Amino acid sequence: MPFRTHMDAALAEARAAAARGEVPVGAVVVDPAGRAVAQAGNRTREMSDPSAHAEMLALRAACAAAGSERLPGHSLYVTLEPCAMCAQAIAFARIARLYYGAADPKSGGVAHGARVFAHPQAHHRPEIYPGLAEREAAALLRAFFAARR
């Protein structure tokens, strides 16, 4: 099951982020042949960079490797619903398919709040598949925040 393999890699990135003291979110970019070409976990604290979300780091690495601002035909797997920043970056990169795990009513920008892809200003709307490995992704986040309280 390639879906599951890629989401497992994203979950592993999320767990590694938690071990670094970062909010546990992970992402993987997959090329049209089904190969993972970049993966990352959240590094906002380590890098002192509010834009260093897992999706942004994975997209930037995949674009740098491709030598292009755009990744047509590529998929992005991420453990949490992207925020408005990441959703707009996904649109700029022309990602074809977005698979995500847990919904994020508090900070999400795909199915909540800004709903970035619902406006023509997004330029591009990927196919969106929510709820993949949702329980595991959400459990990681819950455990992380419970331990910090």
By annotation, the residues acting in catalysis are 55
Spatial separation of the C-alpha atoms in residues 109 and 93, rounded to whole Å? 17
Number of H helices, E strands in the chain: 5, 5
20 contacts a second copy (rule: CB under 8 A): no
Spatial separation of the C-alpha atoms in residues 114 and 94, rounded to whole Å? 19
From the list 11-19, 34-42, 120-128, 140-148, the region that binds a second copy by CB under 8 A is 120-128
8 A C-beta contact, residue 77 and residue 7: yes
139 contacts a second copy (rule: CB under 8 A): no
87 contacts a second copy (rule: CB under 8 A): yes
- The site for a second copy (CB under 8 A) is made up of 44-45, 47-51, 56, 59-60, 63-64, 66-70, 83-89, 92-93, 106-109, 112-116, 118-123
